[in-house]
Structure 1
Amino acid sequence: MKKKILITFAIIIGVLFLSVAGYGLYLYKSVADTASEIHQPIDREPTRAINIEEKEPLSFLITGVDSRGNDHKGRSDTIIIMTVNPSKQSVKMLSLPRDTRTEIIGRGTIEKINHAYAYGGVEMAMDTVENFLNIPLDHYVSVNMEGFKELVDAMGGVTVENAFAFSSGGFSFNEGEVFLSGDEALAYSRMRYEDPRGDFGRNDRQRQIVEAVIQEAAHIGSITKVSEILNVVGGSVKTDLTLDDMWDVQSNYREARHSVEQMQITGTGRKIDGTYYLEIPDEEVARVSGELRAHLGL
């Protein structure tokens, strides 16, 4: 009996395209167990129905939460919207700065967008981002950032293109192509004070790391790496996707990972009652919303 299968694990950091060449039926159980461990349904009516078999465009909310262990509470300091269009074989990624001032849906207050996760978990975060950008969010992936560095290490590190030299977290990063370990990737993605673009530069580096993980995951060729990755993912990731969902996404959407576009959003920072906010003009929100909606075929 043929013992090689294609195993796909499509949820790392939100990213839904982790493809691993199969190493035997026994590995399927490890994947299934991990998928069960990270599966966390949400108490939220879906905004729309998506037919994955017909390859309809999908959207995801990826949140990076600075919490420890399996505790996925706290503010979502990393907020990434990812849309996947298989017919165009493309992915669009947009980072929302955590200080973005908007209405927190479910509370009726105007606050920083990252407060939504702290108040009401991923459900409130999805509702708030949907309202802000006027787009549907079909699924979510939440990543514990403390475990994120272990994921990068399990993959053997990632390579990014650094725009300028800087130091952060006890590490120095040269301009140009840089290879990063887990600790280095975390420091690289968190730096903002030395960046003249502040949070916007930080967001770019976060998306760089996410894209690098996508590409590295698609070329995993070691059973040892697969086992390490599954162990890390089990304690660091939560998603509403089931194993069957992941399998279907992999089968129908994996080619889209070859074209990843990093979108930008701009605004103006100012203090209101002593609190710093980033205010994004309505026309800028409309521009970004229109681009994402078009990519989703809306």
Structure 2
Amino acid sequence: MGRMNRKKKKKWPWIVGIPAVLLLAIAAYVLMVYLDFTKTVKDIYEPIDRDVSGKRDVPVVFDKADPFSVLVLGVDEREGDSGRSDTMIVLTVNPETNSTKMVSIPRDTYTEMVGRGFKDKLNHAYAFGGIEMAMESVENLLDIPIDYVVQVNMESFKDIVDAVGGVNINNSLDFKQGKHIFPKGNIHLNGDEALAFIRMRYEDPRGDFGRQDRQKQIIEAVLREGASVSSILNYKSIFGAISNNIRTNMTFDEMVDVQKNYRKAAGNVEQLYIKDGQGQKMNGIWYYIMNDNELDQIQGELRTHLGL
């Protein structure tokens, strides 16, 4: 009996030690993710030359859960060219109503180039004056402050899609873009396919508005896949793709505050549509002329959502 008792006593340290080892491994993994994340955030952080938008009296305070806005610029950068912001999406986030409003601005919108004193296509603002002029021109157009900006290299956006293992979306239109064929229904897209999917607009009867919907689908799918368990286990590839292709003026501490105070709002996105304008040629160049009544309505809705 004494010998049997001694054998049982030898098993207990192993039984107790297994969960302890697992907890230690999980803690080490979480620490690695945290350290890599902080490094990634430092890599993508790019300050801009202003402390606060000219349309605000004081900066946004995340600890107070102030509503804020973000401009997402999808930039096509080519060798020897500063590039143009062919995708321009404005998000306003309100934690009190737990909601986010999203508006995609047609890239050919005819508006003032702030700082240049003339009007041109909105997507040219980035080429003329970089992120700052793009932000200020969008502010002037929508009559709201743009607090933060996220610049995405669209040519390499496919790397981010591939890093999360591709995306699943519900396609509402049969079409072909380049070498890629997109059947109607639920489809899985890799990085190259996702980039072609959001760039197509000429075969869509809704033109640029259909492209706006596809942009939203891909963005939501990337966020959804990025939060999945399989993507978390593949975090190094995701962080690497982010580091190479994204720049923002939001700091690490601000990102932590947004995650803590604005999570529910970010998960409830309402899309606003710019659809009542018309195309017009001036000096042989095609522009999109916004409908004044529709623009006034969108401006008012965004200002209300920001508590202005």
TM normalised by structure 2 equals 0.86
CA distance in 1, matches of 2:178, 2:260: 39
Alignment-mate amino acid for residue 30 of structure 2 = G
Shift of residue 215, structure 1, vs aligned partner: 2.3
Unpaired runs of 5+ residues, structure 1, are 6-21
2:84 equivalent in structure 1: 75
Q: Is 1:44 matched with 2:50?
A: yes
CA distance in 1, matches of 2:231, 2:153: 24
2:235 equivalent in structure 1: 226
Q: Is 1:113 matched with 2:116?
A: no
Structure 1 residues 273 and 90 mapped into 2: Cα distance closer, same or farther (>3 Å)? Answer: same
Query: Larger helix proportion, structure 1 or 2?
Result: 2
1:24 equivalent in structure 2: 30
CA distance in 2, matches of 1:162, 1:293: 32
Find the residue that maps to 1:73 and give its secondary structure.
strand
Find the residue that maps to 1:186 and give its secondary structure.
helix
Structure 1 residues 220 and 43 mapped into 2: Cα distance closer, same or farther (>3 Å)? Answer: farther
For 1:87-166, what aligned pairs fall within 5 Å after superposition?
87-166=96-175
Would you say the 8 A contact 1:162–1:177 is kept in 2? yes
Would you say the 8 A contact 2:225–2:231 is kept in 1? no
CA distance in 2, matches of 1:141, 1:271: 31
Find the residue that maps to 2:198 and give its secondary structure.
helix
Shift of residue 149, structure 1, vs aligned partner: 0.5
Match of 2:295 among 274, 285, 289: 285
CA distance in 2, matches of 1:189, 1:120: 26
- Asked which structure has the greater RCO (Cα within 8 Å, sep 6+), the reply is 1
Shift of residue 222, structure 1, vs aligned partner: 4.3
Find the residue that maps to 1:66 and give its secondary structure.
strand
CA distance in 2, matches of 1:222, 1:159: 14
1:182 equivalent in structure 2: 191
Would you say the 8 A contact 2:226–2:232 is kept in 1? no
2:265 equivalent in structure 1: 256
CA distance in 2, matches of 1:68, 1:30: 29
2:72 equivalent in structure 1: 62
- Between 145-154 and 43-52, report the one with greater CA deviation: 43-52
Unpaired runs of 5+ residues, structure 2, are 1-19
Structure 1 residues 140 and 238 mapped into 2: Cα distance closer, same or farther (>3 Å)? Answer: same
Shift of residue 223, structure 1, vs aligned partner: 4.5
CA distance in 1, matches of 2:292, 2:229: 43
Q: CA RMSD in A?
A: 2.0
Find the residue that maps to 1:46 and give its secondary structure.
coil
Shift of residue 291, structure 1, vs aligned partner: 1.3
CA distance in 2, matches of 1:92, 1:209: 17
**Number of aligned positions between the proteins:** 281
CA distance in 2, matches of 1:29, 1:72: 35
Q: Deviations over 1:206-228 (max 9, x none)?
A: 12211222222233444542110
Would you say the 8 A contact 1:93–1:262 is kept in 2? yes
Structure 1 residues 222 and 114 mapped into 2: Cα distance closer, same or farther (>3 Å)? Answer: closer
Match of 2:204 among 195, 199, 206: 195
1:85 equivalent in structure 2: 94
- Percent identity between the two aligned chains: 50
Q: Deviations over 1:242-262 (max 9, x none)?
A: 111111111111122331112
Q: Which runs of 4+ in 1 moved over 3 A?
A: 1-5, 220-224
Find the residue that maps to 1:205 and give its secondary structure.
helix
